[in-house]
């Protein structure tokens, strides 16, 4: 997948700019966690994104709108079941309760 609009990408070789569907899903997961933290899954779900397949639908709609390009080996199915949303966005975080001390 190659971006068409926006900021130019620096690599001279266009193949170096290519991301697989799996790489794009992982980058999207990391970005969502960076932006929304514990609420990442809730935010994505509120936008109608409940699986990596939904990310693939968005990417291929952008390809249809000529905002992105695909390589000959890219397939829409590359985005299916890349990771489980619950595991990726909820199990990533461990919240520990503070220990009670006997300072009485």
Report the domain count for the chain: 1
95 three-state secondary structure: coil
Q: What is the pLDDT of residue 27?
A: 94
Query: Cα(40)–Cα(100) distance, rounded to whole angstroms?
Result: 30
Angle, alpha carbons 26-77-1 (nearest 5°): 60
pLDDT of 26 higher than 60: yes
69 forms bridges with which residues in the sheet?
2
- The string of pLDDT tens digits covering residues 27-48 is 999 999 999 999 999 999 999 9
Task: With respect to residue 100, please indicate whether it lies within any of the assigned structural domains.
Answer: no
Q: CB-based burial of residue 85 (10 Å sphere; 0-12 exposed, 13-18 middle, 19+ buried)?
A: middle
Give the domain range for residue 35: 2-6+16-80
Q: What are phi and psi of 53, to 5 degrees?
A: -60, -35
- The string of pLDDT tens digits covering residues 53-95 is 999 999 999 999 999 888 888 999 999 999 998 899 887 677 7
Task: With respect to residue 60, please indicate whether it lies within any of the assigned structural domains.
Answer: yes
Task: With respect to residue 59, please indicate whether it lies within any of the assigned structural domains.
Answer: yes
- The string of pLDDT tens digits covering residues 1-16 is 545 555 544 555 555 5
């Amino acid at each position: 997948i190659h971006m068409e609009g926006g900021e130019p990408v620096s690599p001279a070789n266009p193949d170096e700019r290519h991301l697989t569907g799996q790489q794009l899903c992982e980058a999207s997961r990391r970005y969502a966690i960076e932006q929304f933290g514990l609420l990442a899954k809730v935010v994505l779900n509120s936008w109608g994104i409940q699986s990596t397949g939904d990310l693939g639908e968005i990417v291929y709609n952008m390809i249809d709108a000529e905002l992105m390009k695909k390589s000959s080996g890219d397939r829409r199915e590359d985005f299916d079941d890349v990771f489980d949303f619950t595991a990726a966005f909820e199990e990533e975080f461990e919240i520990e309760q503070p220990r009670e001390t006997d300072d009485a």
